[in-house]
Chains A and B, each alone.
Chain A
Protein backbone atom coordinates (compact mmCIF):
# COMPACT_ATOMS: atom_id res chain seq x y z
CA UNK A 1 0.00 0.00 0.00
CA UNK A 2 2.95 2.27 0.51
CA UNK A 3 3.49 2.17 -3.21
CA UNK A 4 0.05 3.58 -3.78
CA UNK A 5 0.91 6.66 -1.80
CA UNK A 6 3.91 7.42 -3.95
CA UNK A 7 2.12 7.55 -7.25
CA UNK A 8 -1.08 9.34 -8.08
CA UNK A 9 -3.72 6.68 -8.42
CA UNK A 10 -6.97 7.27 -10.13
CA UNK A 11 -9.12 6.45 -7.15
CA UNK A 12 -12.34 6.29 -9.08
CA UNK A 13 -11.03 3.69 -11.42
CA UNK A 14 -9.16 1.89 -8.74
CA UNK A 15 -12.54 1.30 -7.22
CA UNK A 16 -14.50 0.48 -10.31
CA UNK A 17 -11.86 -1.57 -12.00
CA UNK A 18 -10.07 -3.32 -9.18
CA UNK A 19 -12.91 -4.61 -7.10
CA UNK A 20 -10.91 -6.77 -4.80
CA UNK A 21 -9.71 -6.97 -1.24
CA UNK A 22 -6.30 -5.65 -0.23
CA UNK A 23 -5.01 -9.17 0.34
CA UNK A 24 -5.46 -10.21 -3.25
CA UNK A 25 -4.42 -6.82 -4.56
CA UNK A 26 -0.75 -7.58 -4.83
CA UNK A 27 -1.34 -10.67 -6.91
CA UNK A 28 -4.19 -9.70 -9.18
CA UNK A 29 -3.85 -5.98 -9.56
CA UNK A 30 -1.29 -4.17 -11.53
CA UNK A 31 -0.74 -0.54 -12.18
CA UNK A 32 -0.69 0.75 -15.71
CA UNK A 33 0.19 4.22 -16.81
CA UNK A 34 -1.75 5.87 -19.59
CA UNK A 35 -0.14 8.92 -21.06
CA UNK A 36 -0.64 11.36 -23.86
CA UNK A 37 2.06 13.95 -24.22
CA UNK A 38 0.55 16.15 -21.50
CA UNK A 39 -0.99 14.05 -18.77
CA UNK A 40 -0.17 10.74 -17.24
CA UNK A 41 -2.84 8.83 -15.36
CA UNK A 42 -2.31 5.74 -13.25
CA UNK A 43 -4.85 2.96 -13.10
CA UNK A 44 -5.03 -0.11 -10.96
CA UNK A 45 -6.53 -2.91 -12.98
CA UNK A 46 -7.11 -6.61 -12.66
CA UNK A 47 -5.18 -8.74 -15.06
CA UNK A 48 -8.30 -9.96 -16.75
CA UNK A 49 -10.19 -6.68 -16.93
CA UNK A 50 -10.79 -5.43 -20.45
CA UNK A 51 -8.74 -2.31 -20.98
CA UNK A 52 -11.83 -0.56 -22.26
CA UNK A 53 -12.44 0.48 -18.67
CA UNK A 54 -9.03 2.11 -18.52
CA UNK A 55 -9.58 3.97 -21.78
CA UNK A 56 -12.95 5.21 -20.64
CA UNK A 57 -11.44 6.43 -17.40
CA UNK A 58 -8.64 8.17 -19.25
CA UNK A 59 -11.01 9.88 -21.67
CA UNK A 60 -13.20 10.98 -18.80
CA UNK A 61 -10.20 12.39 -17.02
CA UNK A 62 -8.74 14.25 -20.00
CA UNK A 63 -12.00 15.12 -21.68
CA UNK A 64 -10.94 13.58 -24.95
CA UNK A 65 -13.04 11.61 -27.38
CA UNK A 66 -12.14 7.95 -27.38
CA UNK A 67 -12.55 7.72 -31.14
CA UNK A 68 -9.88 10.31 -31.70
CA UNK A 69 -7.34 8.44 -29.58
CA UNK A 70 -5.20 5.44 -30.44
CA UNK A 71 -3.96 3.38 -27.53
CA UNK A 72 -0.63 1.74 -28.17
CA UNK A 73 1.32 -0.62 -25.99
CA UNK A 74 4.88 -1.04 -27.18
CA UNK A 75 3.85 -0.02 -30.63
CA UNK A 76 0.96 -2.39 -30.83
CA UNK A 77 -2.63 -1.28 -31.01
CA UNK A 78 -4.72 -2.12 -27.99
CA UNK A 79 -8.30 -2.95 -28.66
CA UNK A 80 -11.04 -2.46 -26.17
CA UNK A 81 -11.39 -6.13 -25.35
CA UNK A 82 -7.70 -6.71 -24.70
CA UNK A 83 -6.68 -7.36 -21.13
CA UNK A 84 -3.32 -6.83 -19.43
CA UNK A 85 -2.97 -10.58 -19.43
CA UNK A 86 -3.49 -10.99 -23.15
CA UNK A 87 -0.89 -8.31 -23.78
CA UNK A 88 1.62 -9.67 -21.23
CA UNK A 89 1.65 -6.39 -19.45
CA UNK A 90 3.73 -5.88 -16.38
CA UNK A 91 3.37 -3.54 -13.47
CA UNK A 92 4.00 0.15 -14.25
CA UNK A 93 3.82 -0.43 -17.96
CA UNK A 94 3.02 2.52 -20.18
CA UNK A 95 0.10 2.76 -22.54
CA UNK A 96 0.45 5.58 -25.02
CA UNK A 97 -2.67 7.50 -25.93
CA UNK A 98 -1.88 9.03 -29.29
CA UNK A 99 -4.05 11.36 -31.28
CA UNK A 100 -5.60 10.35 -34.55
CA UNK A 101 -3.45 11.36 -37.48
CA UNK A 102 -4.74 12.65 -40.77
CA UNK A 103 -3.10 14.22 -43.75
CA UNK A 104 -3.80 15.48 -47.20
CA UNK A 105 -1.22 18.01 -48.10
CA UNK A 106 1.64 19.95 -46.72
CA UNK A 107 1.81 23.71 -46.83
CA UNK A 108 5.22 24.90 -47.66
CA UNK A 109 6.42 26.92 -44.75
CA UNK A 110 7.77 30.39 -45.30
Chain B
Protein backbone atom coordinates (compact mmCIF):
# COMPACT_ATOMS: atom_id res chain seq x y z
CA UNK B 1 0.00 0.00 0.00
CA UNK B 2 2.87 2.29 0.68
CA UNK B 3 3.92 1.99 -2.86
CA UNK B 4 0.47 2.91 -4.04
CA UNK B 5 0.24 6.06 -2.00
CA UNK B 6 3.68 7.03 -3.11
CA UNK B 7 2.59 6.57 -6.66
CA UNK B 8 -0.56 8.49 -5.98
CA UNK B 9 1.41 11.40 -4.68
CA UNK B 10 3.37 11.40 -7.87
CA UNK B 11 0.20 11.76 -9.70
CA UNK B 12 -1.19 14.67 -7.82
CA UNK B 13 -1.07 17.19 -10.54
CA UNK B 14 -1.76 20.75 -9.47
CA UNK B 15 -5.19 21.96 -10.36
CA UNK B 16 -3.94 24.34 -12.91
CA UNK B 17 -2.40 21.49 -14.79
CA UNK B 18 -5.32 19.13 -14.76
CA UNK B 19 -7.01 19.02 -18.04
CA UNK B 20 -10.52 19.67 -17.06
CA UNK B 21 -11.36 22.41 -19.38
CA UNK B 22 -13.17 21.30 -22.44
CA UNK B 23 -12.04 23.96 -24.81
CA UNK B 24 -9.28 22.89 -27.06
CA UNK B 25 -7.24 26.02 -26.67
CA UNK B 26 -6.36 25.54 -23.09
CA UNK B 27 -5.84 21.89 -23.79
CA UNK B 28 -3.37 22.46 -26.55
CA UNK B 29 -1.31 24.61 -24.23
CA UNK B 30 -0.55 21.59 -22.14
CA UNK B 31 -0.75 19.03 -24.86
CA UNK B 32 1.15 17.25 -26.31
CA UNK B 33 3.15 16.21 -23.40
CA UNK B 34 4.90 13.04 -22.54
CA UNK B 35 4.12 11.33 -19.34
CA UNK B 36 6.78 9.80 -17.27
CA UNK B 37 5.82 6.36 -16.04
CA UNK B 38 5.30 7.60 -12.57
CA UNK B 39 3.00 10.30 -13.83
CA UNK B 40 0.45 7.91 -15.14
CA UNK B 41 -2.91 7.66 -13.48
CA UNK B 42 -3.64 5.02 -10.96
CA UNK B 43 -5.72 2.04 -10.25
CA UNK B 44 -9.28 2.01 -11.43
CA UNK B 45 -8.97 4.82 -13.79
CA UNK B 46 -11.57 4.95 -16.46
CA UNK B 47 -10.89 6.40 -19.83
CA UNK B 48 -14.13 8.05 -20.80
CA UNK B 49 -14.95 8.57 -24.39
CA UNK B 50 -16.55 11.87 -24.99
CA UNK B 51 -17.35 13.65 -28.18
CA UNK B 52 -13.81 14.74 -28.80
CA UNK B 53 -11.93 13.68 -25.73
CA UNK B 54 -10.70 10.69 -23.94
CA UNK B 55 -10.55 11.39 -20.27
CA UNK B 56 -9.14 9.38 -17.48
CA UNK B 57 -10.47 10.18 -14.13
CA UNK B 58 -9.66 9.11 -10.66
CA UNK B 59 -12.50 6.94 -9.57
CA UNK B 60 -12.45 8.08 -5.99
CA UNK B 61 -12.51 11.77 -6.64
CA UNK B 62 -13.96 11.58 -10.14
CA UNK B 63 -11.51 14.23 -11.12
CA UNK B 64 -10.19 14.23 -14.61
CA UNK B 65 -6.60 13.22 -14.51
CA UNK B 66 -5.73 12.99 -18.13
CA UNK B 67 -7.40 14.10 -21.19
CA UNK B 68 -6.38 13.24 -24.69
CA UNK B 69 -7.86 14.55 -27.82
CA UNK B 70 -9.46 11.84 -29.87
CA UNK B 71 -8.38 11.49 -33.43
CA UNK B 72 -10.88 11.48 -36.18
CA UNK B 73 -12.30 8.04 -36.75
CA UNK B 74 -12.49 8.54 -40.46
CA UNK B 75 -8.81 8.83 -41.06
CA UNK B 76 -7.39 5.35 -41.16
CA UNK B 77 -3.85 6.57 -41.72
CA UNK B 78 -3.41 7.52 -38.13
CA UNK B 79 -2.13 5.21 -35.51
CA UNK B 80 -3.63 7.34 -32.80
CA UNK B 81 -7.09 5.91 -32.86
CA UNK B 82 -8.73 5.85 -29.50
CA UNK B 83 -8.12 2.22 -28.85
CA UNK B 84 -4.48 2.35 -29.70
CA UNK B 85 -4.24 5.38 -27.49
CA UNK B 86 -5.76 3.41 -24.69
CA UNK B 87 -3.65 0.47 -25.53
CA UNK B 88 -0.50 2.45 -25.33
CA UNK B 89 -1.65 3.92 -22.11
CA UNK B 90 -2.40 0.56 -20.64
CA UNK B 91 0.88 -0.80 -21.83
CA UNK B 92 2.69 1.92 -20.04
CA UNK B 93 0.70 1.17 -16.99
CA UNK B 94 1.58 -2.45 -17.20
CA UNK B 95 5.23 -1.76 -17.66
CA UNK B 96 5.37 0.39 -14.60
CA UNK B 97 2.78 -0.94 -12.29
CA UNK B 98 2.09 -4.15 -10.62
CA UNK B 99 -1.11 -5.24 -9.03
CA UNK B 100 -4.59 -5.18 -10.34
CA UNK B 101 -6.03 -2.64 -12.62
CA UNK B 102 -9.43 -2.50 -13.92
CA UNK B 103 -9.46 -0.41 -16.98
CA UNK B 104 -12.74 0.15 -18.57
CA UNK B 105 -13.88 2.07 -21.50
CA UNK B 106 -17.07 3.92 -21.19
CA UNK B 107 -18.75 6.44 -23.24
CA UNK B 108 -20.33 9.64 -22.20
CA UNK B 109 -23.48 9.46 -24.13
CA UNK B 110 -26.24 10.93 -22.08
CA UNK B 111 -28.94 9.63 -24.30
CA UNK B 112 -28.21 6.07 -23.38
CA UNK B 113 -28.49 4.33 -20.11
CA UNK B 114 -25.32 3.23 -18.43
CA UNK B 115 -25.40 -0.26 -19.79
CA UNK B 116 -21.98 -1.42 -20.88
CA UNK B 117 -21.79 -3.12 -24.21
CA UNK B 118 -18.92 -5.51 -24.16
CA UNK B 119 -16.61 -5.68 -27.08
CA UNK B 120 -16.30 -9.30 -27.99
CA UNK B 121 -12.65 -9.08 -28.66
CA UNK B 122 -10.53 -8.14 -25.69
CA UNK B 123 -7.55 -6.04 -26.51
CA UNK B 124 -4.56 -8.30 -26.30
CA UNK B 125 -2.19 -5.74 -24.94
CA UNK B 126 -4.28 -5.28 -21.88
CA UNK B 127 -6.15 -8.43 -21.19
CA UNK B 128 -4.63 -11.28 -19.30
CA UNK B 129 -1.57 -9.36 -18.26
CA UNK B 130 -0.30 -8.87 -14.76
CA UNK B 131 -2.68 -5.98 -14.54
CA UNK B 132 -5.66 -8.24 -14.83
CA UNK B 133 -8.24 -8.09 -17.54
CA UNK B 134 -9.26 -4.91 -19.06
CA UNK B 135 -12.86 -4.24 -19.54
CA UNK B 136 -13.74 -2.40 -22.66
CA UNK B 137 -17.29 -1.35 -22.58
CA UNK B 138 -18.49 0.96 -25.25
CA UNK B 139 -21.87 2.46 -24.81
CA UNK B 140 -21.76 4.47 -27.94
CA UNK B 141 -21.62 2.40 -31.04
CA UNK B 142 -18.05 2.83 -32.21
CA UNK B 143 -17.65 4.17 -35.68
CA UNK B 144 -14.79 1.82 -36.21
CA UNK B 145 -15.43 -1.83 -35.55
CA UNK B 146 -12.73 -3.91 -34.01
CA UNK B 147 -12.17 -5.63 -37.33
CA UNK B 148 -11.64 -2.31 -39.02
CA UNK B 149 -9.33 -1.21 -36.29
CA UNK B 150 -6.97 -3.97 -37.26
CA UNK B 151 -6.66 -2.51 -40.70
CA UNK B 152 -6.06 0.86 -39.20
CA UNK B 153 -2.56 -0.11 -38.27
CA UNK B 154 -0.13 1.67 -40.58
CA UNK B 155 1.36 -1.41 -42.19
CA UNK B 156 -2.09 -2.74 -43.04
CA UNK B 157 -3.16 0.59 -44.33
CA UNK B 158 -0.30 0.65 -46.79
CA UNK B 159 -1.44 -2.71 -48.11
CA UNK B 160 -5.01 -1.54 -48.33
CA UNK B 161 -4.03 1.62 -50.12
CA UNK B 162 -2.02 -0.36 -52.63
CA UNK B 163 -4.90 -2.72 -53.33
CA UNK B 164 -7.32 0.15 -53.62
CA UNK B 165 -5.26 1.97 -56.21
CA UNK B 166 -4.87 -1.29 -58.10
CA UNK B 167 -8.64 -1.80 -58.11
CA UNK B 168 -9.31 1.70 -59.36
CA UNK B 169 -6.72 1.25 -62.07
CA UNK B 170 -8.31 -2.02 -63.20
CA UNK B 171 -11.80 -0.51 -63.25
CA UNK B 172 -10.57 2.31 -65.43
CA UNK B 173 -8.96 -0.14 -67.79
CA UNK B 174 -12.18 -2.15 -68.07
CA UNK B 175 -14.12 1.03 -68.77
CA UNK B 176 -11.70 2.01 -71.52
CA UNK B 177 -11.81 -1.48 -73.00
CA UNK B 178 -15.58 -1.45 -73.07
CA UNK B 179 -15.57 1.92 -74.78
CA UNK B 180 -13.11 0.73 -77.37
CA UNK B 181 -15.10 -2.38 -78.14
CA UNK B 182 -18.43 -0.58 -77.88
CA UNK B 183 -19.86 -2.90 -75.28
CA UNK B 184 -21.76 -0.17 -73.58
CA UNK B 185 -25.24 -1.05 -72.50
CA UNK B 186 -27.66 -0.05 -75.22
CA UNK B 187 -31.01 -0.80 -73.71
CA UNK B 188 -33.88 1.19 -75.15
CA UNK B 189 -35.81 3.73 -73.11
CA UNK B 190 -38.53 2.21 -70.98
CA UNK B 191 -42.14 2.42 -72.06
CA UNK B 192 -44.51 2.03 -69.17
CA UNK B 193 -47.15 -0.66 -69.52
CA UNK B 194 -50.74 0.22 -68.82
CA UNK B 195 -52.22 -1.55 -65.80
CA UNK B 196 -55.22 -3.82 -66.18
CA UNK B 197 -58.69 -2.37 -66.02
CA UNK B 198 -60.66 -2.70 -62.82
CA UNK B 199 -62.71 -5.78 -63.65
CA UNK B 200 -59.76 -7.77 -64.93
CA UNK B 201 -57.81 -6.81 -61.85
CA UNK B 202 -60.60 -8.07 -59.66
CA UNK B 203 -60.67 -11.35 -61.53
CA UNK B 204 -56.94 -11.82 -61.16
CA UNK B 205 -57.08 -10.93 -57.50
CA UNK B 206 -59.88 -13.40 -56.96
CA UNK B 207 -57.65 -16.25 -58.07
CA UNK B 208 -54.56 -14.86 -56.40
CA UNK B 209 -56.33 -14.87 -53.07
CA UNK B 210 -58.27 -18.08 -53.58
CA UNK B 211 -57.73 -20.80 -51.02
CA UNK B 212 -58.70 -23.75 -53.15
CA UNK B 213 -55.25 -24.08 -54.61
CA UNK B 214 -55.68 -27.49 -56.14
CA UNK B 215 -58.53 -26.53 -58.42
CA UNK B 216 -57.59 -27.12 -62.03
CA UNK B 217 -58.58 -24.15 -64.13
CA UNK B 218 -58.05 -25.62 -67.54
CA UNK B 219 -55.61 -26.84 -70.08
CA UNK B 220 -53.43 -24.34 -71.89
CA UNK B 221 -51.26 -25.85 -74.62
CA UNK B 222 -51.30 -29.20 -72.87
CA UNK B 223 -50.32 -27.64 -69.55
CA UNK B 224 -52.89 -28.14 -66.84
CA UNK B 225 -53.03 -24.88 -64.96
CA UNK B 226 -54.20 -24.94 -61.38
CA UNK B 227 -54.94 -22.06 -59.05
CA UNK B 228 -51.62 -22.70 -57.34
CA UNK B 229 -49.84 -22.14 -60.66
CA UNK B 230 -51.61 -18.84 -61.22
CA UNK B 231 -50.69 -17.88 -57.69
CA UNK B 232 -47.01 -18.17 -58.53
CA UNK B 233 -47.61 -14.98 -60.52
CA UNK B 234 -48.51 -13.08 -57.37
CA UNK B 235 -46.12 -10.25 -56.56
CA UNK B 236 -42.98 -11.51 -54.83
CA UNK B 237 -43.70 -15.17 -55.67
CA UNK B 238 -41.40 -17.43 -57.64
CA UNK B 239 -42.77 -18.50 -61.01
CA UNK B 240 -43.06 -22.20 -61.72
CA UNK B 241 -42.58 -24.23 -64.88
CA UNK B 242 -46.28 -24.55 -65.67
CA UNK B 243 -46.80 -20.83 -65.92
CA UNK B 244 -43.69 -20.27 -68.00
CA UNK B 245 -44.46 -23.19 -70.32
CA UNK B 246 -48.02 -22.05 -70.92
CA UNK B 247 -47.09 -18.42 -71.37
CA UNK B 248 -44.26 -19.11 -73.81
CA UNK B 249 -46.32 -21.63 -75.77
CA UNK B 250 -49.09 -19.09 -76.10
CA UNK B 251 -46.61 -16.47 -77.23
CA UNK B 252 -45.03 -18.66 -79.86
CA UNK B 253 -48.40 -19.53 -81.37
CA UNK B 254 -49.54 -15.91 -81.30
CA UNK B 255 -46.45 -14.20 -82.62
CA UNK B 256 -46.02 -13.52 -86.31
CA UNK B 257 -42.52 -14.88 -86.45
CA UNK B 258 -41.91 -18.59 -86.72
CA UNK B 259 -41.10 -19.25 -83.11
CA UNK B 260 -40.95 -22.34 -81.00
CA UNK B 261 -40.49 -22.43 -77.26
CA UNK B 262 -39.27 -25.56 -75.57
CA UNK B 263 -40.58 -26.55 -72.19
CA UNK B 264 -38.49 -25.49 -69.22
CA UNK B 265 -37.49 -29.10 -68.64
CA UNK B 266 -35.79 -29.28 -72.02
CA UNK B 267 -32.59 -27.58 -71.03
CA UNK B 268 -32.45 -29.35 -67.68
CA UNK B 269 -32.63 -32.72 -69.41
CA UNK B 270 -30.14 -31.64 -72.07
CA UNK B 271 -27.71 -30.52 -69.42
CA UNK B 272 -28.17 -33.67 -67.34
CA UNK B 273 -28.11 -36.38 -69.96
CA UNK B 274 -27.00 -34.84 -73.20
CA UNK B 275 -28.62 -34.99 -76.61
CA UNK B 276 -29.98 -38.53 -76.33
CA UNK B 277 -32.40 -37.50 -73.59
CA UNK B 278 -34.05 -34.90 -75.78
CA UNK B 279 -33.42 -36.41 -79.20
CA UNK B 280 -37.07 -37.11 -79.86
CA UNK B 281 -38.51 -33.92 -78.46
CA UNK B 282 -38.32 -31.72 -81.54
CA UNK B 283 -39.36 -34.61 -83.77
CA UNK B 284 -42.46 -35.17 -81.71
CA UNK B 285 -43.39 -31.50 -81.99
CA UNK B 286 -42.60 -31.64 -85.72
CA UNK B 287 -40.15 -28.79 -85.41
CA UNK B 288 -37.43 -28.10 -87.91
CA UNK B 289 -34.95 -26.01 -86.01
CA UNK B 290 -33.29 -24.87 -89.21
CA UNK B 291 -36.49 -23.27 -90.47
CA UNK B 292 -37.44 -21.50 -87.28
CA UNK B 293 -36.93 -17.77 -86.80
CA UNK B 294 -36.50 -18.06 -83.07
CA UNK B 295 -35.92 -21.04 -80.86
CA UNK B 296 -36.68 -20.16 -77.26
CA UNK B 297 -35.05 -22.25 -74.55
CA UNK B 298 -35.90 -21.32 -70.98
CA UNK B 299 -33.15 -22.23 -68.56
CA UNK B 300 -33.70 -23.17 -64.96
CA UNK B 301 -30.65 -22.82 -62.77
CA UNK B 302 -30.60 -25.18 -59.81
CA UNK B 303 -34.34 -24.82 -59.23
CA UNK B 304 -33.59 -21.30 -58.10
CA UNK B 305 -33.30 -19.00 -61.04
CA UNK B 306 -34.86 -18.52 -64.45
CA UNK B 307 -32.86 -17.39 -67.43
CA UNK B 308 -33.65 -17.34 -71.11
CA UNK B 309 -31.66 -18.37 -74.11
CA UNK B 310 -32.77 -17.60 -77.62
CA UNK B 311 -31.44 -18.92 -80.92
CA UNK B 312 -32.00 -16.37 -83.65
CA UNK B 313 -31.66 -18.03 -87.03
CA UNK B 314 -32.07 -14.79 -88.97
CA UNK B 315 -29.37 -12.84 -87.20
CA UNK B 316 -27.41 -16.02 -86.59
CA UNK B 317 -26.97 -15.46 -82.87
CA UNK B 318 -27.32 -17.60 -79.79
CA UNK B 319 -27.92 -15.32 -76.85
CA UNK B 320 -28.26 -15.98 -73.17
CA UNK B 321 -30.27 -13.49 -71.14
CA UNK B 322 -29.84 -13.34 -67.39
CA UNK B 323 -31.74 -10.75 -65.41
CA UNK B 324 -29.03 -11.00 -62.75
CA UNK B 325 -25.91 -10.23 -64.70
CA UNK B 326 -23.85 -10.92 -61.59
CA UNK B 327 -24.69 -14.58 -62.10
CA UNK B 328 -22.37 -17.06 -63.66
CA UNK B 329 -23.20 -16.17 -67.25
CA UNK B 330 -24.32 -18.52 -69.94
CA UNK B 331 -21.18 -19.98 -71.43
CA UNK B 332 -22.23 -23.53 -70.62
CA UNK B 333 -25.77 -22.96 -71.91
CA UNK B 334 -24.56 -21.57 -75.20
CA UNK B 335 -22.08 -24.41 -75.60
CA UNK B 336 -24.71 -27.08 -74.89
CA UNK B 337 -27.14 -25.44 -77.28
CA UNK B 338 -24.65 -25.40 -80.12
CA UNK B 339 -24.02 -29.07 -79.52
CA UNK B 340 -27.75 -29.76 -79.53
CA UNK B 341 -28.32 -27.75 -82.70
CA UNK B 342 -25.59 -29.59 -84.58
CA UNK B 343 -26.93 -32.98 -83.57
CA UNK B 344 -30.51 -31.99 -84.26
CA UNK B 345 -29.56 -30.70 -87.71
CA UNK B 346 -27.81 -34.01 -88.23
CA UNK B 347 -31.06 -35.80 -87.50
CA UNK B 348 -32.94 -33.63 -89.98
CA UNK B 349 -30.34 -33.88 -92.72
CA UNK B 350 -28.25 -36.94 -92.03
CA UNK B 351 -24.71 -37.30 -93.26
CA UNK B 352 -23.86 -33.63 -93.45
CA UNK B 353 -22.27 -33.20 -90.09
CA UNK B 354 -19.36 -31.06 -91.28
CA UNK B 355 -21.70 -28.66 -92.99
CA UNK B 356 -23.80 -28.29 -89.86
CA UNK B 357 -20.81 -27.75 -87.66
CA UNK B 358 -19.72 -25.00 -90.00
CA UNK B 359 -23.17 -23.41 -89.99
CA UNK B 360 -23.43 -23.26 -86.24
CA UNK B 361 -19.82 -22.26 -85.75
CA UNK B 362 -20.66 -19.14 -87.71
CA UNK B 363 -23.34 -18.25 -85.19
CA UNK B 364 -22.38 -15.44 -82.88
CA UNK B 365 -22.68 -16.55 -79.28
CA UNK B 366 -23.61 -13.94 -76.69
CA UNK B 367 -23.34 -15.59 -73.29
CA UNK B 368 -24.26 -12.42 -71.43
CA UNK B 369 -26.67 -10.44 -73.54
CA UNK B 370 -27.82 -7.03 -72.40
CA UNK B 371 -31.23 -7.20 -70.81
CA UNK B 372 -33.23 -5.42 -68.13
CA UNK B 373 -32.08 -6.32 -64.65
CA UNK B 374 -34.00 -7.35 -61.57
CA UNK B 375 -33.11 -5.83 -58.24
CA UNK B 376 -34.80 -8.36 -56.01
CA UNK B 377 -34.96 -12.07 -55.41
CA UNK B 378 -38.18 -13.10 -57.07
CA UNK B 379 -38.84 -11.47 -60.44
CA UNK B 380 -36.45 -13.35 -62.68
CA UNK B 381 -39.15 -15.59 -64.16
CA UNK B 382 -41.09 -12.55 -65.30
CA UNK B 383 -37.96 -10.97 -66.75
CA UNK B 384 -37.10 -14.16 -68.61
CA UNK B 385 -40.61 -14.47 -70.07
CA UNK B 386 -40.77 -10.85 -71.10
CA UNK B 387 -37.37 -11.03 -72.74
CA UNK B 388 -38.48 -14.03 -74.79
CA UNK B 389 -41.74 -12.37 -75.78
CA UNK B 390 -40.09 -9.12 -76.81
CA UNK B 391 -37.33 -10.78 -78.78
CA UNK B 392 -39.65 -13.14 -80.63
CA UNK B 393 -41.91 -10.23 -81.55
CA UNK B 394 -38.96 -8.15 -82.69
CA UNK B 395 -39.73 -5.41 -80.19
CA UNK B 396 -37.18 -3.70 -77.96
CA UNK B 397 -36.61 -4.76 -74.36
CA UNK B 398 -38.32 -1.65 -73.05
CA UNK B 399 -39.36 -2.77 -69.59
CA UNK B 400 -37.72 -2.65 -66.22
CA UNK B 401 -38.14 -3.54 -62.58
CA UNK B 402 -40.93 -1.02 -62.01
CA UNK B 403 -43.21 -2.73 -64.52
CA UNK B 404 -43.00 -6.13 -62.90
CA UNK B 405 -46.15 -6.03 -60.81
CA UNK B 406 -48.23 -4.86 -63.74
CA UNK B 407 -46.68 -7.47 -66.04
CA UNK B 408 -47.47 -10.16 -63.49
CA UNK B 409 -51.11 -9.08 -63.55
CA UNK B 410 -51.16 -9.15 -67.32
CA UNK B 411 -49.59 -12.59 -67.45
CA UNK B 412 -52.05 -13.97 -64.91
CA UNK B 413 -54.97 -12.42 -66.76
CA UNK B 414 -53.83 -13.84 -70.12
CA UNK B 415 -53.42 -17.30 -68.68
CA UNK B 416 -56.81 -17.16 -66.99
CA UNK B 417 -58.41 -16.18 -70.28
CA UNK B 418 -56.62 -19.01 -72.05
CA UNK B 419 -57.74 -21.46 -69.41
CA UNK B 420 -61.27 -20.45 -70.20
CA UNK B 421 -62.13 -18.40 -67.14
Q: Which residues of A contact B (CB under 8 A)?
A: 37, 67, 70, 72, 74-77, 79-80, 96, 98-109
Contacts and interface: CB of A to CB of B under 8 A. Distances in A.
- Residue with the highest number of chain B CB atoms closer than 10 Å, among A70, A72, A100, A105: A105
Contacts of B301: 103, 106
A75 B300 contact: no
Nearest to A82: B222
B243 to A, nearest CB: 10
Contacts of B281: 74-76
B266 A79 contact: no
B228 A105 contact: no
Interface string B222-253: 11101010001000011111100100000000
B324 interface: yes
B304 A75 contact: no
A100 to B, nearest CB: 6
Given A67-B214, A75-B284, A76-B222, A104 B328 contact: no
A99 to B, nearest CB: 8
Contacts of B228: 67
15 contacts: A67-B226, A67-B228, A72-B265, A75-B262, A75-B285, A76-B281, A77-B222, A98-B269, A100-B241, A101-B264, A101-B300, A102-B232, A103-B239, A106-B302, A106-B328
A77 B249 CA distance: 12
A37 B272 contact: yes
Contacts, number: 103
A106 B327 contact: yes
A104 B378 contact: yes
Contact of B324 (A75, A96, A98, A106): A106
B41 interface: no
Contacts of A98: 265, 268-269
Contacts of B222: 76-77, 79
Contact of B280 (A74, A80, A103, A109): A74
Interface of B: 214, 219, 222-224, 226, 228, 232, 237-242, 245, 262-266, 268-269, 272, 278, 280-285, 300-307, 322, 324, 326-328, 374, 376-381
B50 to A, nearest CB: 44
A102 B240 contact: yes
A79 to B, nearest CB: 6
Contacts of A99: 303
A68 B411 CA distance: 22
A38 to B, nearest CB: 13
Nearest to A37: B272
B381 A103 contact: yes
A79 B224 CA distance: 7
A73 to B, nearest CB: 8
B263 A103 contact: no
B327 A108 contact: yes
Given A103-B239, A103-B303, A106-B304, A76 B285 contact: yes
B241 to A, nearest CB: 4
B245 to A, nearest CB: 8
A95 to B, nearest CB: 13
A39 B206 CA distance: 40
Contacts of B262: 75
Contact of A106 (B266, B305, B379): B305
Contacts of A101: 240-241, 264-265, 268, 300, 303
